[in-house]
């Protein structure tokens, strides 16, 4: 299932996308928060992730390539994880540096948030980043996320400590910001 706007599409990851996704995951500049530093993702790791995963109707995560609608050129990666019984999920994304500053991250997040709130019925969405990733923090706040948790000096990268930040967005806050989009689950 693809999530689509006039400009971008969030679609399934295909074999021909794996090298692109691996490059994004290994580029510290595109990673807002990573458990693995330095990144050492390989093609075979991603092939196992997508090809060896057993099918289940109980989905707790979703992974997408962000591509341009007109050309299908991959420009980024978006995901949700930790989906728990219509209560919560965590989202993340990375945009290739050549496509920074064009509004694609905002569009991708709008599509993903719309899916998680409208279709999955999630109550709260979490966004992890680091305090030194000003672009990620600014985007989260632009989308309505508010500070939830700060782990001071929680990450050491490029010779500097930074705080890990978790920002949260409640379902009610999302719909308040979307006056033309009714909450189909509200009572």
Q: What is the dihedral of CA 49, 83, 37, 128, to 10 degrees?
A: 150
Structure-block tokens of residue 163: 């705080």
Return the axis-axis angle of helices 134-142 and 104-114, rounded to nearest 10°.
50
Work out the angle at residue 33's Cα, subtended by the Cα atoms of residues 31 and 38, and round it to the nearest 5 degrees: 70
- pLDDT tier at 132, thresholds 50, 70, 90: confident
Could you tell me the pTM of the whole model?
A: 0.88
Q: Kindly state the average pLDDT of the residues 128-149.
A: 93
pLDDT score for 48: 77
Note the pLDDT tens digit of each residue in 156-181.
877 888 899 999 999 999 999 998 98
Structure-block tokens of residue 6: 């006039």
More confident residue, 25 or 147: 147
Q: 163, 63 in Cβ contact below 8 A?
A: no
In angstroms, rounded to a whole number, what is the distance separating the alpha carbons of residues 89 and 83? 4
Q: Kindly state the average pLDDT of the residues 12-23.
A: 92
Note the pLDDT tens digit of each residue in 118-127.
999 999 999 9
Q: 165, 131 in Cβ contact below 8 A?
A: yes
Note the pLDDT tens digit of each residue in 65-83.
999 999 999 999 999 999 9
Q: Where are the domains of the chain?
A: 3-176
- pLDDT tier at 5, thresholds 50, 70, 90: very high
Q: Which CATH topology does 3-176 take?
A: Aminopeptidase (3.40.630)
- Return mean pLDDT, the chain: 88
SS3 content of the chain, % helix, strand, coil (to 5): 30, 35, 35
Q: 20, 123 in Cβ contact below 8 A?
A: no
Residue 55 pLDDT > 70: no
């Amino acid at each position: 299932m693809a999530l689509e706007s006039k400009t971008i599409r969030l679609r399934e990851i295909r074999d021909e996308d794996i090298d692109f996704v691996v490059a994004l995951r290994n580029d510290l500049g595109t990673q807002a928060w990573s458990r693995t530093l330095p990144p050492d993702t390989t093609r075979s790791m991603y092939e196992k992730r997508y090809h060896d995963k057993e099918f289940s109707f109980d989905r707790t995560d979703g992974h997408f390539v962000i591509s341009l609608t007109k050309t299908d050129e991959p420009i980024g990666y978006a995901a949700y994880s930790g989906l728990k019984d219509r209560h919560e999920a965590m989202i993340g994304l990375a945009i290739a540096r050549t496509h920074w500053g064009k509004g694609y991250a905002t569009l991708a997040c709008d599509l993903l948030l719309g899916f998680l709130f409208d279709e999955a019925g999630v109550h709260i969405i979490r966004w992890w980043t680091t305090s030194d990733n000003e672009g990620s923090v600014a985007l989260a706040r632009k989308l309505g996320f508010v500070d939830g948790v700060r782990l001071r000096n929680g990450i050491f990268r490029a010779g500097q400590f930074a705080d890990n930040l978790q920002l949260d967005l409640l379902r009610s806050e999302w719909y308040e910001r979307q006056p033309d989009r009714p909450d189909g689950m509200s009572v």
